[in-house]
Structure 1
Amino acid sequence: MSGSRRPSADRVTLEVVARVAGVSRATVSRVVNGKASVDESLRQAVERAISETGYLPNLAARALVTRRAEAIALVLPEESRILGDPFFGRVVSGVTSVLTPLGLHLVLLMTGRHTREQVVTDLRQGRLDGVILIHTYPQDPLPGQLVKARLPVVLAGKPQTSARITHVDVDQAAGGALAARHLHALGRRRFATITGPLDAPAGQGRLHGFRDTLTALGQSAPLVAEGDFSRDGGAAAMSRLLAAEPELDAVFVASDLMAQGALPVLRRHVRRVPADVAVVGFDDSSAALACEPPLTTVRQPVEDMAAELARQVLTRVDNPEVPPAAVLFEPTLVHRDSA
């Protein structure tokens, strides 16, 4: 039989990975051990080579040397919310795209008082190396506890605490502004919006960007109905908007999932989309494609943002003295059939 065979994972060495990636063994070692001081193009080349060769780090040996658990926790909202929202699957995909090639484990945890106590204890006792927090609430003590204890933690979204904490976010206000300019350019003039929770930075930022941009364009402030980032919440908010203004002709919905709930309400009120009402969502998730018609939406690059969260937490595991950072991604508008 001719042709080469991929070597078995237990025979693949750092030297083999280095040869495939076209880099030095030292560079491969730094990537495998989660070191921050690697150029991004070299890091990607090494991660591709790891995938191609099937290299598996010797986690037991590495743990003895590094004194690490080789595990990162991803703390998510309560399970009932996760099951219905495609956003969280995209977060997991982005985080594992960085951790898996390095042989690191991802530990999923749900929010709750016991979870907060467990996270702090596990970090202090070495059962976890770092934590990525998703969607904390304003009074959540966990971010401040972790920062005060000088433990490796990064946050998805703008902090709602005075503690200085590394975070990764999309420019929420810029996303709302994109929606406002697009709907205005279509000639719509009776504007409304279904916001996210207004006690959360994402809900506030998207509303402010939308409303402030309409004002700058010489338009009246939009009618506002608060939602909760759920399908049912979007449906209920859309009903409230139509009761207040049956002739509205443009709606910015602050998540695709809420838009998926809002569109059937418009159909029941015999309001055609986009002929009578133009609708713009936010996220560019699978829910946008499941809408009828397919949803024009503001895209936040969730997988890229989640991968950056993973890189940031690994940087802080490697060097706890690295100062807090704020990484902001830019949104884009994806044109489909709803607006």
Structure 2
Amino acid sequence: MADGKDNGQGRFVSAQAVAERAGVSRSAVSRAFTPGASIAPGTLARVHEAAAALGYQVNDLARGLLANRSRLVGLVTSDADSPFRAQMIAALSQALIERGNVPAIINIGPTTEDVANASRQLLRYRAEATVFLSGSPPESMVELTRQNGQPLILINRAETGLDSVHCDDMDGAQQAFEALSLTGASRFAVINKEDPSPSLGAREQAFAGFAVASGFKPGVVRVGHSDYDGGREAARRLLASGPAPDALFCVNDLMAFGALDHLREAGLRVPDDVSVIGFDDVPIAAWTSYRLTTLRQDPHRIAKEVVLILDRRIADPDAPPVSVYFPVELVVRETVKARR
């Protein structure tokens, strides 16, 4: 079976070629590259010397197929180029590679069928697990993956019955409301997208709930997309609907950037006239042009939790599903007025 590349003939160097050069059996080559296998030190040294000379590389794909596992872990996502999603993919990829996995990124469309197609594709490639950063697999696909022993892990999804990792959206919304309240604000608003994800919806609902409980009637504006343009459009609608808010909570940083630019173009001073808080703490939030106060999610902490859940699930496939919540941190910059 082909295992590495032969520079002379453009083919992969086989384990048999290494065995012939080292003067050992084919099985000795296999043992030399199998952790914990029994092999004499002298034989091991000859095999490694021959492998280095030929440029031999172990064929992990072939080994995975023989063991009915590929070491692939699927990362299913949409909007893979958005700042926080890109950070999350990078952190997960790093954590999985350190674990010995090969991350396979599948960028999907918005429909349930897109998610199901991604699940089927990863099953066909015998992926060790699938991590959903966007969307959620339909129940039929959940059952199919269970029958095939493939763990599914959700990030910031509200569905039950599957392992999941969540940021504490409610606590983040409370921190945002309290920070805005301390400015002396009285006209609160929150912007979101229409048909939001469970996480974005939870942030909006929690913030509005805290405002109502404190005696305020918050304005809520929902637009088509939770991106920069969506933030601009939401801010435009807010200003067109009545008096400008003096405290604005945006469910993510991208919407906050768009809102900030529109508010400033409309002649409002941030934070003197209106304080603004985002969510995620993507790198752009620290740029001089924004200096956005926001809630920080830590992608590396999320990735670490995903790997821990994956290890537990593989060790005990029948264990009850777990939901891990991690805190978010208010990062104070320059878009919130000083406390009164």
Alignment TM-score, normalising by the size of structure 1: 0.73
Amino acid aligned to 2:319: V
Q: Deviations over 1:181-226 (max 9, x none)?
A: 000011111111112444421122101221222233x231210011
Q: Deviations over 1:279-308 (max 9, x none)?
A: 001001123123633000011222211332
1:157 — aligned with what?
Answer: 156
SS in 2 for 1:235: helix
Check whether the contact 1:132–1:310 (CA below 8 A) recurs between aligned residues: no
Map residues 297-316 of structure 1 onto 2, 5 A cutoff: 297-316=294-313
1:70 — aligned with what?
Answer: 71
Alignment TM-score, normalising by the size of structure 2: 0.73
Q: Residue 317 and residue 177 in structure 1: after superposition, are their counterparts in 2 closer, same or farther (change >3 A)?
A: same
1:186 — aligned with what?
Answer: 183
In the TM superposition, what is the alpha-carbon distance from 1:268 to its structure 2 partner?
1.5
Q: Which moved further from structure 2: 272-281 or 311-320?
A: 311-320
* Length, aligned pairs only: 278
Counterpart Cα distance in 2 of 1:330 and 1:118 = 30
Amino acid aligned to 1:74: L
Amino acid aligned to 2:64: A
1:132 — aligned with what?
Answer: 131
Amino acid aligned to 1:244: S
Check whether the contact 1:263–1:292 (CA below 8 A) recurs between aligned residues: no
Counterpart Cα distance in 1 of 2:116 and 2:77 = 11
In the TM superposition, what is the alpha-carbon distance from 1:137 to its structure 2 partner?
5.9
Q: Residue 62 and residue 203 in structure 1: after superposition, are their counterparts in 2 closer, same or farther (change >3 A)?
A: same
Amino acid aligned to 2:75: L
Q: Which has the higher contact order (CA 8 A, sep 6+)?
A: 1
Counterpart Cα distance in 1 of 2:69 and 2:91 = 22
SS in 1 for 2:234: helix
1:174 — aligned with what?
Answer: 171
In the TM superposition, what is the alpha-carbon distance from 1:114 to its structure 2 partner?
5.9
1:284 — aligned with what?
Answer: 281
Q: Deviations over 1:84-140 (max 9, x none)?
A: x111111112212321123310001122536633533542x4531110011216978
1:34 — aligned with what?
Answer: none
Q: Residue 318 and residue 120 in structure 1: after superposition, are their counterparts in 2 closer, same or farther (change >3 A)?
A: farther
Counterpart Cα distance in 2 of 1:260 and 1:139 = 34
1:50 — aligned with what?
Answer: none
Q: Percent identity?
A: 29
Check whether the contact 1:196–1:255 (CA below 8 A) recurs between aligned residues: no
Amino acid aligned to 1:133: F
In the TM superposition, what is the alpha-carbon distance from 1:75 to its structure 2 partner?
0.5
Q: Residue 213 and residue 109 in structure 1: after superposition, are their counterparts in 2 closer, same or farther (change >3 A)?
A: same
Counterpart Cα distance in 2 of 1:127 and 1:314 = 17
Check whether the contact 2:208–2:218 (CA below 8 A) recurs between aligned residues: yes
SS in 2 for 1:236: helix
Q: Which moved further from structure 2: 191-200 or 259-268?
A: 191-200
1:120 — aligned with what?
Answer: 120
Counterpart Cα distance in 2 of 1:174 and 1:279 = 17
2:86 — aligned with what?
Answer: 89
Check whether the contact 1:153–1:316 (CA below 8 A) recurs between aligned residues: no
Map residues 6-45 of structure 1 onto 2, 5 A cutoff: none
SS in 1 for 2:80: helix
Counterpart Cα distance in 1 of 2:142 and 2:288 = 36
Q: Residue 204 and residue 114 in structure 1: after superposition, are their counterparts in 2 closer, same or farther (change >3 A)?
A: closer
SS in 1 for 2:295: strand
In the TM superposition, what is the alpha-carbon distance from 1:60 to its structure 2 partner?
6.0
Q: Residue 182 and residue 294 in structure 1: after superposition, are their counterparts in 2 closer, same or farther (change >3 A)?
A: same
Q: Give the alignment's Cα RMSD to 1 decimal.
A: 2.8
SS in 1 for 2:273: coil
Q: Deviations over 1:63-89 (max 9, x none)?
A: 378542011000011xxx332x11111
Q: Residue 266 and residue 136 in structure 1: after superposition, are their counterparts in 2 closer, same or farther (change >3 A)?
A: same
Q: Residue 176 and residue 138 in structure 1: after superposition, are their counterparts in 2 closer, same or farther (change >3 A)?
A: farther
**1:222 maps onto 2:218 in alignment:** yes
Q: Residue 60 and residue 143 in structure 1: after superposition, are their counterparts in 2 closer, same or farther (change >3 A)?
A: closer
Amino acid aligned to 1:287: I
**1:208 maps onto 2:205 in alignment:** yes
In the TM superposition, what is the alpha-carbon distance from 1:165 to its structure 2 partner?
0.6
